[in-house]
Amino acid sequence: MDASNNRKEVPVELARAGEARHFIAWRAAVAGLGGGHLSDFATAAEAVITDIYLSGVEGTLVIESEHTSEELKIYLAHPEIKKRRMADLEEMLDKFLDGYEISPTREVLIKRL
């Protein structure tokens, strides 16, 4: 698989948020997520992307995917977020993902396949 297919850079402009959402959903489907697992992952990714876009940062969102036969990881790197907009983001991620990491400049979303 060509590594360039696993990376996407999107300007952090609300009008461009659909590109990020589409890329993440497509990468999850390619990794083998389907049905309820894909829906859960998409819900969590939507919350993270919404938080990034509403947090008022400017610059570029870099999305990378990595998957093995056991798990899918999506990495989202962006300019520093000083104040998160999504209330209870971590609770939502706990509910829909098998693991995650959150920092001011990066999120990692993990789902077992």
pLDDT at 2 over 60: no
**100: Cβ contacts below 8 Å, ≥ 6 apart:** 44, 90, 93, 107, 108, 109, 110
Q: What is the pLDDT of residues 57-93, one digit of tens each?
A: 899 999 999 999 999 999 999 999 998 888 899 999 9
What domains appear along the chain, each with residue ranges and CATH number?
A: 3-112 (3.30.565.10)
Say what the pLDDT of residue 29 is: 92
* 99 strand-pairing partners: 110
